[in-house]
Amino acid sequence: MAIIERPTPADTISLRMPVTPAQSMGIVRRPVTSTGWKSWVFTVDHKKIGIMYGVFAMFFFIVGGVEALLIRLQLAAPDGKILSADLYNQMFTMHATTMIFLFAMPMAAAFANYFLPLQLGARDVAFPRLNALGLWLLVAGGLILNSSWFLGGAADGGWFMYSPNSGPVFSPSNGVDFWTIGVQIAGFGSLVSSINLIVTILNMRAPGMTLMKMPVFCWMIMVVQFLLVFSLPVITVALVLLTFQRSFGATFFDVAQGADPLLWQHLFWIFGHPEVYVLILPAFGIISEVLPTFSRKPLFGYPFVVFSGASIGLVGFGVWSHHMFATGLGPISVAAFSIATMAIAIPTGVKIFNWTLTMWGGKIWYSTAMKFAIGLIVLFTIGGLSGVTHAVAPSDTQQTDTYYIVAHFHYVLVGGMVFGLFSGFYYWWPKVFGKMLNEKLGGWNFWLMVIGMNMTFGPMHILGLQGQPRRMYVWTEARAGEGFFNFGFWNRVASLGSFILAIGILIFLINVVHTARKGKPAPLDPWDARTLEWITTSPPKEHNFDRIPVVHHLDEFFHRKYQENTTTGEMVQIATGAQLVQAEEDNADAHIHLPSPSYWPIAIAVGVGTLGLGVVYGVPIMIVGVLIILGSAFGFVLEPSVADDIDYDPPMSGGQDTKELAPLG
């Protein structure tokens, strides 16, 4: 067995042990327990943080989903009366914002946080407390964003919040203020966590794991984090400008002063387009793990997949203006961005071919995870192809801002991203919770989602090409047309489909509850998997690995289980997963040091949230916020990575003379 122990920090050695510090120490002691609510709120364990990200994201997935259903209800019939125009505008704005910033990104962060260290063979991320900080900032941002519903109405400018419609005159409620502040704080959280994850990937891989032996999931996460690091500051600038205009009377988007409304659009899309890849690439990463596992074959053309992912990321920075073909950019920029946009289809196509060919010659096991992965390939391809149709800029001027676009990006995001994440749920659930999700319910879940998704978003292609613009709170018979392709019929189909989709997702939730209550315990290696996260127990121990694995192959775990018979070329099993895990336990490292929990991350997040509210409600609150931030930031910096002995109850005597360092900061 491994011994988890705390090293003795140098500065406590000089301290003579106190007589009875326990009571009066109260508020200044560090949290140290590993059970109970405190162990979650103050944790720095990447697994707990990952699960909290997941719970948070799932909650907002449901919130965003309900918003979507209301939207579809409103549009099910002409002249819908379910929502007022004002409420409808808030609804679609918050649906998009919630789904992107509070579901998709956190859910990807959940997977990244949980599995990145496990797949890399690390004990934790590089900066565990920054990790917690990222989470709590996101929570603060999410709460601020959604609190606007109860404080005078949510933001109503559409998720890209074009100026000047988002200015103080055209959107006088506080909704947009909450939106800018919330997104800014959530974005800051993402920035913190992405820096952390990049450093983790670059510095904390297990011995022997070169970058080209790293699982594709990690690669995609790394690309995503780089995208975030370089795109988030741009949206921060845009949000700062908007906040300054709304709260302090700056003139950035005041056209009467000569301002250019396109500035916002450029800034927004320089962030917004990479953001699209931020959303989709983690799902690509997930299915790049799932497909090989269930095809029993390595990923076809690993380097191509990796480099196409990286080039998607890179080119993704150069295509933002294709969201602005109709804004009057001038033919030269339109042409340039049109061509660049087509270019980005190439690496995407490469990925699709590689996934398809991974299955070629395989031994395909149709588990639910695999079904979702295949679903992603098919649905994403549809989304990708409709994407090519509006890379052709003139054609795009007919399609942009219509339901065709809505169809396109929902195929990409629901068909692509959501299916990828669900694939990840089914694949990794046994790893995280030690229980198998029910495959039968999984089947229902998958098929209802496929049918619902195609029924919802398929007809939107037709609606768009028939000229139904997006963001309309009503459509009328007069413009609906007649015959097979009238708006009315297809709008009804779409609304019906959205409920089928919702039932599909509901079945997943039922499955989760069912599994938690009477799911069967998962074997150590249920899928005959290929990567390092399976080389430990399920759920993994607090310190992840009893022994840091040494890596020799891409798909290390698989190669420890199977060996090629050199004469026949057949793969022969030499060990089971359970045996390998046992072997690790038997040879556990003697001393393992883990960082201690901390108050400061959540304290900083509270401070940032207070500062944000201060921007809306007045300077005194801002000052309080700044003080909290200052204090907790310095507390954060001055805190040693492991708790002092006196933080324990009863106080422990510092002891074993070990020199091994806990992870950084």
Partner 1 sequence: MFTTGSKYYFGVAGLGSLGAVLYMVLVNPCDVGVLALLGIAIAMSLVGGVAQFTDDFDADTVSEAVTASASAPAKSMWPLLLALGGVLLLVGMTAKPIIFILGIVVIFAAGVEWALQSWAERASTDSAFNRFVRERALSSLELPLLAGGIVATIAVAFSRIMLAVSPQSGAILFIMIATAVLVVGFLVALKTNLKKSTIAATCVLGAVVLLVSGGIAGFSGNREELVVAAAEDHYSHKECEAASSEHFDKNSNNAVSMKSGISATIRVKDGKLTAQLIGIDTPVQVVTLARSNLTTILFRNLDDAQYRLVANLGTQKVGDTGVEEEIVDCTQMTGKDQTQALILKISKPSASSGPYTLTVPGLEGQEIAVVVP
Partner 2 sequence: MAMWLFLGSECLLFGGLISTYMLYRGRVTQGPRPSQVFDIPFTSVSSFVLLMSSLTMVLAVTSAQRKDNHRTKLWLMVTASLGATFVGGQVYEFTAFYNEGLGFTTNLFSSSFYTLTGFHGVHVTVGVIMLLSLRGIISKDKDTGDRPEVVELIGLYWHFVDIVWIIIFTLVYLIPA
Partner 3 sequence: MSHDSTLTGSEQNLTIFKGMIHSARLRRIGLALGASSAMFLSGCASNAPQDTWQPKGENAEKINTLQWMVFPLAGIVGVLVFSLIGYILWRFRDKGQAIPHQSHGNPTIEITLTIIPALILSVVGVFTFRGIFQLAQTNDTQMVINVTGQQWWWEYDYPAQVVNGVEIAQPIITSGQLVIPTGTKVLLRETSRDVIHSYWIPALNGKKDAVPGRINLLRIQANKPGIFAGQCSEFCGLSHANMRMEAVALSPEDFATWIANQQRNAESPAQATLADEGETVFLNQCIRCHQVNGLKKADGTAAIAAPDENVYAGAAPNLTHLMSRNTFAGAAFDLLTDGCRKNVWSAAPEEFGAVYLKGVIADCLNQTNIRRWLRNAPAMKPMYANPVKLEASDGKYRGMPNLGLSESDIDKLVAYLSTLK
String of contacts with partner 1 for each residue 322-361, x by CB under 8 A: ------x---------------------------------
Closest approach of Cβ 434 to partner 1, in Å? 38
Q: Give me Rg for the CA atoms of the chain.
A: 26
- In whole angstroms, the minimum distance from the beta carbon of 664 to partner 2 comes to 8
Which one of 254, 439, 528, 542 is in contact with partner 2 (CB under 8 A)? 254
State the minimum distance, in angstroms, from the CB of residue 190 to partner 1: 25
Q: Residue 25 binds what, of partner 1, partner 3, partner 2, none (CB under 5 to 8 Å, by partner type)?
A: partner 1
Judged by beta carbon distances under 5 to 8 A according to partner kind, the member of partner 3, partner 2, partner 1, none in contact with residue 248 is partner 2
Cα(13)–Cα(8) distance, rounded to whole angstroms?
7
Of residues 167-196, which lie at the interface with partner 2 (CB under 8 A)? 191, 195-196
- Return the number of the residue (62 or 263) whose C-beta is nearest partner 1: 263
Question: What distance in Å separates the CA atoms of residue 200 and residue 663, rounded to the nearest whole number?
Answer: 10
Structure tokens at 187: 């974005």
Task: State which amino acid sits at residue 380.
Answer: F
Using CB under 8 A as the binding rule, whether residue 632 contacts partner 1 is answered as yes
333 lies in the site for partner 2, by CB under 8 A: no
The minimum distance between CB 87 and partner 3, in angstroms, equals: 10
Amino acid at residue number 83: L
Let me know: does 134 contact 52? Beta carbons within 8 Å: no
Q: Is 548 in the site for partner 2 (CB under 8 A)?
A: no
Peptide bond into 539 cis (omega under 30): yes
Interacting residue with partner 2 among 49, 241, 373, 405 (CB under 8 A): 241
Which 3 state secondary structure label does DSSP give 535? helix
| Residue 549 Cβ vs partner 3, minimum distance, rounded to whole Å | 19
**Strands 3-4 and 591-592, how do they pair?**
parallel
Size, binding site for partner 1 by CB under 8 A: 26
**Rounded to an integer, what distance in angstroms lies between the CA atom of residue 263 and that of residue 256?**
15
Alpha carbon 162 to its chain centroid, in Å, reads: 24
Question: Closest approach of Cβ 116 to partner 2, in Å?
Answer: 16
Under DSSP, the state recorded for 392 is: S
Tokens at residue 586, please? 């038997």
**Binding-site member from 234, 393, 413, 554 for partner 2 (CB under 8 A):** 234
Q: Which of 1, 10, 13, 20 binds partner 1 (CB under 8 A)?
A: 20
Provide the minimum distance between the beta carbon of 616 and partner 3 in the complex, in angstroms, as a whole number. Answer: 15
Binder of residue 654, out of partner 1, partner 2, partner 3, none (CB less than 5 to 8 A by kind): none
Q: Which of 155, 209, 259, 287 binds partner 2 (CB under 8 A)?
A: 259
| Neighbour tally for 283: CB within 10 Å | 30
Q: Of the two residues 78 and 640, which places its CB atom closer to partner 2 in the complex?
A: 640
Residue 236 contacts partner 2 per CB under 8 A: yes
Does residue 604 contact residue 185 with C-beta atoms inside 8 Å? no
Residue 221: closest CA among 291, 310, 293: 310
Closer of 249 and 650 to partner 2 (Cβ):
249
User: How far apart are the C-alpha atoms of 596 and 1, rounded to whole Å?
Assistant: 21
641 part of the interface to partner 2, by CB under 8 A: yes
481 is in the binding site of which of partner 2, partner 1, partner 3, none (Cβ under 5 to 8 A by kind)? partner 3
Integer Cα distance of 594 and 254 in angstroms? 53
Residues from 97 through 156 that contact partner 2 (CB under 8 A): 126-127, 130
DSSP string, 538-582: SSPBTTB-SSPPPP-STTHHHHHHEEE-TTT--EEE---HHHHHH
Task: Select the binding partner of residue 19 from partner 3, partner 2, partner 1, none (C-beta < 5 to 8 A, by kind).
Answer: partner 1
Query: What are the Cα distances from residue 56, in Å, to 61, 109, 140, 426, 515?
Result: 9, 11, 11, 18, 19
Handedness of CA 401, 402, 408, 409 (dihedral sign): positive
How far is Cα 399 from Cα 175, in angstroms, rounded to an integer? 29
Q: CB 562 → partner 1: shortest distance, Å?
A: 53
Residue 563 binds partner 2 (CB under 8 A): no
Nearest to 113 by CA among 432, 417, 384: 432
Q: How far apart are CA 600 and CA 629, in angstroms?
A: 9
- Interatomic CA distance for residues 28 and 647, integer angstroms: 9
Taking the complex as a whole, how short is the minimal distance between the CB of residue 133 and partner 1, in angstroms? Answer: 15
The answer to whether the CB of 514 falls within 8 A of the CB of 441 is yes
Single residue of 2, 87, 240, 548 touching partner 2 by CB under 8 A: 240
Query: Which of partner 3, partner 2, partner 1, none does residue 202 bind (CB under 5 to 8 Å by kind)?
Result: partner 2
- Residues 295-320 as b/e (b if ≥16 CB within 10 A, e otherwise) read bbbbbbbbeebbebbbbbbbbbbbbb
Q: How far is the CB of 312 from partner 2 (least distance, A)?
A: 19
Part in contact with partner 1 (CB under 8 A); list of ranges 183-191, 227-235, 268-276, 629-637: 629-637
User: Nearest-5° angle of CA 557, CA 561, CA 567?
Assistant: 125
**φ/ψ (deg, to 5) at 332:** -70, -50
Residue with Cβ nearer partner 2 (212 or 630): 630
Q: Are 265 and 323 in contact (CB under 8 A)?
A: yes
The mark string for 215-254 relative to partner 1 (x by CB under 8 A, - otherwise) is: ----------------------------------------
Establish if 640 lies at the interface with partner 2 (CB under 8 A): yes
Which one of partner 2, partner 3, partner 1, none is in contact with 385 (Cβ closer than 5 to 8 A by kind)?
partner 3
Chain centroid, CA 614 distance in Å: 28
Q: Select the binding partner of residue 67 from partner 3, partner 2, partner 1, none (C-beta < 5 to 8 A, by kind).
A: none
How far apart are CB 99 and partner 3 at their closest, in Å?
A: 17
Give burial (CB, 10 Å; 0-12/13-18/19+) of 394: exposed
**Of positions 49, 138, 155, 267, contacts partner 2 by CB under 8 A:** 267
To the nearest whole angstrom, how small is the minimum distance from the Cβ of residue 57 to partner 3? 27
Q: Which residues contact partner 2 (rule: CB under 8 A)?
A: 11, 126-127, 130, 191, 195-196, 198-199, 202-203, 229-234, 236-238, 240-241, 244-245, 248-252, 254, 256-260, 263, 267, 634, 637-641, 665
Q: Which residues contact partner 1 (rule: CB under 8 A)?
A: 15-21, 24-25, 27-28, 255-256, 258, 260, 328, 627, 630-638
